[in-house]
């Protein structure tokens, strides 16, 4: 079981790093910028979680396999960018797997640090989507995880299963598996059928912030 989690975690890191490196290539960063963006996309979620709960030094700094795999993903993307663009279908599936696993593992870690279940679920979601947010903010664009088909919602749903299970004192392993499957399933179905959350009605304005803060 632990081996499985480790493998999935590394796969998730690899695919998230891939997504960061890919954006770096498209925005014409040089080799080094691509690697930095890969690292940010793969680790920012977990690092933010660890910093917020006080689990320092953060985990991504204490296991050499994470930077190693991130570096590999960055180099592979740099060299074979056109190929990876064509592998969309499998990359999306691995990405959904990474999201599911990050959300579940992140929630569990927050619970282990004594965070209450509702906030632990929020932290699990953040673990899943934080990398994508950091990647897009560094490229000065609105984070797509805040718009994509049920991306953050799927992460929260999976995290909530783990948090509720913990609150009801159910055994953690089945809850983790159920949460990961729910997240993965939701995300894949949202991609398949183009599910979207509603957008609010509004009276005008064009990206201007509320006047209260101007």
Q: Which of residues 120-179 bind a copy of itself (CB under 8 A)?
A: 122-123, 132-133, 135-149, 151-153, 156
113 close to 189: Cβ distance less than 8 angstroms: no
Site residues for a copy of itself, 5-24, by CB under 8 A, read 15, 18-19, 22-23
151 close to 129: Cβ distance less than 8 angstroms: yes
Rg, the chain, Cα only = 17
Q: Give the span between the Cα atoms of 182 and 85, in whole angstroms.
A: 27
182 close to 101: Cβ distance less than 8 angstroms: no
Minimum CB separation of residue 188 from a copy of itself in Å reads 12
Contact range with a copy of itself by CB under 8 A, out of 1-9, 162-170, 177-185, 200-208: 200-208
Site residues for a copy of itself, 66-95, by CB under 8 A, read 67, 77-79, 81-82, 84-86, 88, 91-92, 94-95
Query: What single DSSP character describes residue 210?
Result: P
Is 193 one of the binding residues for a copy of itself (CB under 8 A)? Answer: no
Minimum CB separation of residue 136 from a copy of itself in Å reads 7
Is 3 one of the binding residues for a copy of itself (CB under 8 A)? Answer: no
Residue with tokens 């979601």: 125
Which x/- pattern, by CB under 8 A, does the window 24-43 give for a copy of itself?
Answer: -xxxxxxxxxx-xx-x----
Instruction: Identify which of 98, 86, 108, 78 has the alpha carbon closest to the alpha carbon of residue 11.
Output: 98
* Per rule CB under 8 A, count of chain residues that contact a copy of itself: 91
Q: Give the span between the Cα atoms of 47 and 24, in whole angstroms.
A: 20
Contact range with a copy of itself by CB under 8 A, out of 3-11, 116-124, 167-175, 177-185: 116-124
Is 107 one of the binding residues for a copy of itself (CB under 8 A)? Answer: no
155 close to 106: Cβ distance less than 8 angstroms: no
Q: Give the span between the Cα atoms of 165 and 136, in whole angstroms.
A: 33
Q: Which is nearer to a copy of itself, 1 or 192 (CB)?
A: 192
């Amino acid at each position: 079981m632990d081996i499985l989690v480790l493998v999935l975690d590394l796969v998730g890191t690899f695919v998230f790093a891939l997504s960061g490196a890919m954006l770096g290539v498209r925005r014409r960063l040089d080799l080094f910028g691509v690697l930095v963006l890969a690292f940010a996309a793969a680790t920012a979620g977990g690092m933010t979680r660890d910093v917020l709960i006080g689990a320092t030094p953060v985990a991504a700094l204490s296991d050499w396999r994470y930077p190693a795999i991130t570096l590999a993903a960055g180099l592979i993307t740099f060299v074979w960018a056109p190929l990876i663009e064509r592998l969309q279908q499998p990359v999306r599936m691995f990405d959904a797997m990474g999201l599911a696993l990050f959300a579940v593992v992140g929630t569990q870690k927050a619970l282990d640090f004594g965070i209450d279940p509702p906030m632990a679920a929020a932290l699990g979601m953040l673990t899943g989507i934080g990398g994508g947010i950091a990647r897009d903010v560094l490229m000065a664009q609105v984070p797509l995880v805040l718009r994509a088909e049920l991306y953050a919602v799927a992460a929260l749903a999976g995290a909530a299963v783990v948090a509720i299970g913990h609150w009801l004192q159910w055994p953690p392993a089945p809850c983790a598996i159920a949460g990961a499957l729910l997240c993965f399933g939701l995300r894949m179905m949202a991609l398949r059928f183009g599910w979207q959350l509603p957008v609010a009605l509004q009276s005008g304005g064009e990206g201007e912030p509320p006047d209260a803060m101007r």
